[in-house]
Structure 1
Amino acid sequence: MIAEISEQIGQLLAVDDRRQTPQLRRGNRIRTIQASLAIENNTLSIEQVTAVLAGQRVLGLPREIQEVRNAFAAYEAMPDWQPSSRVDLLQAHQLLMHGLIDDFGQLRKAGVGISRGEQLVHMAPPPSRVAHLIDDLLAWLGASDWHPLIISCVFHYEFEFIHPFADGNGRMGRLWQTLILSQWRPVLAYLPVETVIREQQDAYYAALSAADQLAESTPFVEFMLQALSLALKEATQSEPATDQVTDQVTDQVARLLGSLLGKGPMKVSELMEEVGLAHKATFRANYLKPALAAGLIEMTDPDSPKSPAQRYRLTELGKRAATTR
């Protein structure tokens, strides 16, 4: 699996420089943040996360909006951290959980268990042992000569086992694994592996549980390597299409996509107002029809194109083009 992933990374590095434009990196980071928070029951969509980070007003719970802002700040600060530094680990948790819990940036002082429904699936070590266990884990991280792929997965599992914080352990574990991998191959800093974990969330927790039962991290390492491989496969397959679409998007169509991003379906009159046009024929010729033809937007009622109730919304392709442009 290490050999396969290394080959996939080589393929990702060998592609056109356009693949790593700032827009694409930001789009991948948004996907990472949305998925990692969704695992923790944050309900904001990619469009809403994009809008929050653009400073737009979003209809959502204040806590969920705060989680997005915190996560973005943490991922942006990641290049300044050393994986084996306890100070940096605490600073990362402070950024992630600021305003969400009282003891952000501090190791927990109480016992904690992890439940699924009414079932207790993991009882973390007592708080009196947390500091010692974390220091041992960070010392091992700094001294290990294992392959970085394995190190990152083992660290992720052991971190979740210790559960060093009162809250935010899941998102911290995923962030720190990304940090470890990014110092090995910088391109991995923007790999949205969290989206794969989100789609396979039950398997993620099952792998953690299986590792607990075996008292070794192998099941979790295997799961994470598979998730990394799948994320790399999706990255190498999906980015060319996104780039081609982005290149073909005119300024007018881009304005239309931006008007729809983070919002629900809209009528023609509403879209014209958003882009600042009063002439319907010009709007249809330069904005609406090209976006429909490229598959960037779609009708809510395609069977009745001329329906007075007709509205338009972004397709998945349109969302990606709007995010990466």
Structure 2
Amino acid sequence: MHGFTELDTLLGSVPARVVTLLRTVDIGQGSEGLYRNQLPGVLASLARRARVASVTASSEIEGIVVPDQLRAEKIIEGRTMVLRTRSEQELAGYRDALDYLFQSSWQPVNLGLVLHLHRLLFGRTASPGGQFKPHDNVVVDRAADGSTTVRFRPVPAARTEFYMAELIDRFQAAMAAGTHHPVLLIGLFVLDLTIVHPFEDGNGRVARVITNALLADSGYEVVRYVSLEQLIADSADEYYQALLNSTRGWHEHRADPWPWLGYFVATLAEAYRLFGRRAAADRSTGNKQDRVRDYVRRQAPGVFRLADIRQALPGISDPTIRIVLDQLRKDDIVAVDGVGRAATWRRL
């Protein structure tokens, strides 16, 4: 909540680099409506890929890995109900939390929502979720030899609920006022949430999943089509360094939020650049068989049906799709299980 106590002073002078990045973000946001109205099939394809990338990347940041990629995709797509390991359970939990935010009317952000997201993250494990930390915790760096160094001390457990309620109230008031750019306010909210560190485990995942929700709710829906979590995973060192640089002096109200806000806005701007490139590539003017072949090899889930291709590539007939699938099968790129409409295809 400290980021919201002197908001006008804090955000009254935005660094020039961040102003430029915000311009990129807002221009990108303006293009979303065009794609939504004219190329719904392209967006459906991008959203499906981003969902898989978001769940796997956010989990991998925390060391939660399902080595078999095809199995991980099955779990994320809900095509397997038996979860064999703790990692598989937590992978499914992040999927549940992400889907809840993208498919439900959760607004506005509130204390119950934050707890519910945590409950969903751990809902398939034996660990309790949906409860604030019972004991004080610390954020540590772990060296290769196993030794640890305290990086930051979050707020005490006894004060966690107060800090969270205060943060949410101040964030809502700042958003309603409309004085400052919503992306900066969301970035500040995520920073304070991360610093408060309200849970014993799962803080990073709660922060990342709620980032998606707040951005989409403010009209920055690129997070549905490009995985912000993947971009964070690809720049993990910068991510952690930006957070560290903006935590120093937080308890004394002396923290500088701009290292984190600069990283946050730059990551969102990169998401919009990727969105433009990927959307343009997906609507390329290649012939129909080339478009099907490219979709199957680069974009389709590990296991798919003919109907999935039909939905992703509107305007391409079933006979054309079958011709390409048969060619790919002969080239040992895909295999088929079953016949007719019930057939499923999988990449080899």
Q: TM-score, normalised by structure 1?
A: 0.74
Match of residue 270 from structure 1:
none
Q: Distance in 2 between matches of 1:226 and 1:259?
A: 29
In structure 2, runs of 5+ residues without a counterpart are 1-20, 143-147, 250-254, 304-322, 335-345
Which residues of 2 match residues 65-84 of structure 1 at below 5 A? 65-78=88-101, 79-84=104-109
Alignment coverage as a number of residue pairs:
278
Are the aligned partners of 1:108 and 1:165 in contact in 2 as well (CA < 8 Å)? yes
Are the aligned partners of 1:154 and 1:221 in contact in 2 as well (CA < 8 Å)? yes
Q: Distance in 1 between matches of 2:273 and 2:64?
A: 26
| CA displacement, residues 190-242 of structure 1 (integer Å, 9 cap, x when unaligned) | 03111110000011000010001251322111101111111111121123324
Match of residue 95 from structure 1:
120
After TM superposition, give the deviation of residue 61 of structure 1 in Å: 5.9
Match of residue 73 from structure 2:
50
Are the aligned partners of 2:29 and 2:220 in contact in 1 as well (CA < 8 Å)? no
Match of residue 62 from structure 2:
40
Are the aligned partners of 2:222 and 2:272 in contact in 1 as well (CA < 8 Å)? no
In structure 1, runs of 5+ residues without a counterpart are 263-281, 299-321
Q: Tell whether 2:180 aligns with 1:150.
A: no
Match of residue 9 from structure 1:
29
RMSD: 3.6
Match of residue 327 from structure 2:
286
Pick one of 217, 220, 237 that aligns with 2:257.
217
After TM superposition, give the deviation of residue 18 of structure 1 in Å: 3.2
Are the aligned partners of 1:51 and 1:58 in contact in 2 as well (CA < 8 Å)? no
Letter in 1 for 2:65: T
Pick one of 226, 229, 234 that aligns with 2:269.
229
Letter in 1 for 2:133: R
Pick one of 194, 197, 206 that aligns with 2:232.
197
| CA displacement, residues 20-62 of structure 1 (integer Å, 9 cap, x when unaligned) | 5434322211111111111111223654431213445699961
Which residues of 2 match residues 247-266 of structure 1 at below 5 A? 248=289, 261=302
Identity of aligned residues (%): 20
Are the aligned partners of 1:154 and 1:217 in contact in 2 as well (CA < 8 Å)? yes
Match of residue 62 from structure 1:
85
Change beyond 3 A, Cα 1:238–1:125: same
Q: Distance in 2 between matches of 1:199 and 1:77?
A: 25
Match of residue 15 from structure 2:
none
Match of residue 179 from structure 1:
213
User: Aligned with 1:95: secondary structure?
Assistant: helix
Q: Distance in 1 between matches of 2:79 and 2:171?
A: 40
Change beyond 3 A, Cα 1:202–1:18: same
Are the aligned partners of 1:111 and 1:125 in contact in 2 as well (CA < 8 Å)? yes
Pick one of 17, 21, 24 that aligns with 2:46.
24
User: Aligned with 1:116: secondary structure?
Assistant: strand
Q: Distance in 1 between matches of 2:188 and 2:299?
A: 41
Deviates more, 1:99-108 or 1:85-94: 99-108
Letter in 1 for 2:204: G
Pick one of 126, 147, 152 that aligns with 1:122.
152
Are the aligned partners of 1:113 and 1:120 in contact in 2 as well (CA < 8 Å)? yes
Are the aligned partners of 2:117 and 2:130 in contact in 1 as well (CA < 8 Å)? yes
Q: Distance in 1 between matches of 2:95 and 2:280?
A: 25
Q: Tell whether 2:134 aligns with 1:109.
A: yes
Change beyond 3 A, Cα 1:242–1:67: farther
After TM superposition, give the deviation of residue 186 of structure 1 in Å: 5.7
User: Aligned with 2:248: secondary structure?
Assistant: helix
Change beyond 3 A, Cα 1:229–1:258: closer
User: Aligned with 1:80: secondary structure?
Assistant: coil
Q: Distance in 2 between matches of 1:17 and 1:260?
A: 20
Are the aligned partners of 1:44 and 1:60 in contact in 2 as well (CA < 8 Å)? no
Q: Distance in 1 between matches of 2:76 and 2:113?
A: 24
After TM superposition, give the deviation of residue 111 of structure 1 in Å: 1.0
Q: Distance in 2 between matches of 1:259 and 1:20?
A: 12
Q: Distance in 2 between matches of 1:236 and 1:185?
A: 16
User: Aligned with 1:185: secondary structure?
Assistant: coil
Are the aligned partners of 2:188 and 2:257 in contact in 1 as well (CA < 8 Å)? yes
Q: Distance in 2 between matches of 1:183 and 1:28?
A: 17
Letter in 2 for 1:50: E
